Amino acid sequence: MADGLSTILETTEAERLATGFVFTEGPLWHPDGFFYFVDIRASVLYRLTPGRAPQVVRDKTGGGNGTTFDLQGRLIVCEGDNRRVTRMSADGRIEVLLDRFEGKRLNRPNDVVCKSDGSIYFTDPGLRVPLAERELPYSGVYRIAPDGAASLLADFEYPNGLAFSPDEGMLYVANTRWTQYIHAIELDARGNMVRRRIFADMSSDETDGVPDGMKVDVEGRVYCTGPGGTWVFAPDGTRLGIIRTPEVPANLAFGGPDLRTLFFTARTSVYALRVKVPGQPHPWYRIGSR
């Protein structure tokens, strides 16, 4: 094990929890003891309690990808094929949060996070949308305010995964193509961009995997799935190592009662691995009714 990971990982062999999917993504831990994930290609949303078989929560998700909760614990999903961001209530009712910006259709919403003030941030890359169908001339990172108003935070080549620093003063955004890096966006008190900089370079000779899903632990380390596995960075951007799993993951989530289990969605399967440092808890866990 690389020295930089020895202080982080409790176990080095990932356990496969379920398999037989097409392309898994969007893991999200629920404090009731299960986690959600999606199969993008099959357009199915699942819930999985470790040790049990996955259960279908919703089919026909329209290419559901990244997921998060709002402050009331309602599930938010980026529906790439449907080109929208939705919210699902406990009774299964689907509400569209955003499908257009300034009158133009979104590209392909990819990943999403919730801030403790209730605002929602999501990425919307456009390179996989045919030119004839593309209405927005950029690939954006957007903010949906608690009152529903949407604003463009920044544009990228291909924005993908995103995550907040523990104090929420920084938003990390992975850029998948053409250059591969993580940007750190400094936010003001209202959640708008002050400045941005390159936090880490993720270019690699390894060809399996790209900068994708991202999470942050309580000590500020950044975990980003990428070429060859999950790259782990110190808060200053120093690379600590790469967590290797049997399949290269597209996304990950901290979970378990102590938030010290890393769940990986990796191609045909989902995996789990124990770590020593808890993940940053979702605002709903801290602020909501739980």
What is the C-alpha separation between 104 and 102, in angstroms, rounded?
6
Q: Is 131 helix (H, G, I), strand (E, B) or coil?
A: helix
H-state helical runs in the chain: 3-6, 283-287
CA atoms within 13 A on the CB side of 11: 12
Question: Residue 60, by phi and psi: left (phi above 0), alpha (psi -120 to 50) or beta?
Answer: left
pLDDT-based confidence at 206, cuts 50/70/90? confident
Centre a 10 Å sphere on the Cβ of residue 136 and count the other Cβ atoms it contains: 18
What is the C-alpha separation between 113 and 27, in angstroms, rounded?
12
| pLDDT score for 286 | 74
| pLDDT score for 1 | 45
Give the E-state strand segments of 6-71 in sequence order: 15-19, 24-30, 34-39, 44-48, 55-59, 64-69
| pLDDT score for 288 | 52
Q: Is the pLDDT of residue 139 over 80?
A: yes
For the stretch 261-286, pLDDT in tens is 999 999 999 999 999 999 999 999 87
Q: Is the pLDDT of residue 290 over 60?
A: no
| pLDDT score for 4 | 87
Q: For 193-212, what is the mean pLDDT? A: 93
pLDDT-based confidence at 3, cuts 50/70/90? low
Q: Is the pLDDT of residue 218 over 60?
A: yes
Which domains, ranges and CATH numbers included, belong to the chain?
3-287 (2.120.10.30)
| pLDDT score for 87 | 98
For the stretch 173-192, pLDDT in tens is 999 988 899 999 999 999 99
Tokens 């900068």 identify what position? 211
Q: Is 158 helix (H, G, I), strand (E, B) or coil?
A: coil
Q: For 243-250, what is the mean pLDDT? A: 97
Residue 164 structure tokens: 């907040």
Q: Is the pLDDT of residue 289 over 50?
A: no
Residue 23 structure tokens: 């392309």
For the stretch 77-124, pLDDT in tens is 999 999 999 999 999 999 999 999 999 999 999 999 999 999 999 999
| pLDDT score for 287 | 59
H-helix or E-strand spanning residue 223 = strand 222-226
| pLDDT score for 169 | 98
| pLDDT score for 124 | 98
Cα–chain center distance at 27: 8
**Are the C-beta atoms of 263 and 35 separated by less than 8 Å?**
yes
Note if the bond before 284 is cis, omega within 30 degrees.
Answer: no
CA-based radius of gyration for the chain: 17
What is the C-alpha separation between 214 and 222, in angstroms, rounded?
7
Query: Smallest Cα–Cα separation from 216: which of 174, 269, 187, 272?
Result: 174
Q: For 19-34, what is the mean pLDDT? A: 98
What is the C-alpha separation between 135 and 217, in angstroms, rounded?
37
For the stretch 38-79, pLDDT in tens is 999 999 999 999 999 999 999 999 999 999 999 999 999 999
Residue 286 structure tokens: 């801290």
What is the C-alpha separation between 86 and 38, in angstroms, rounded?
14
Cα–chain center distance at 154: 17
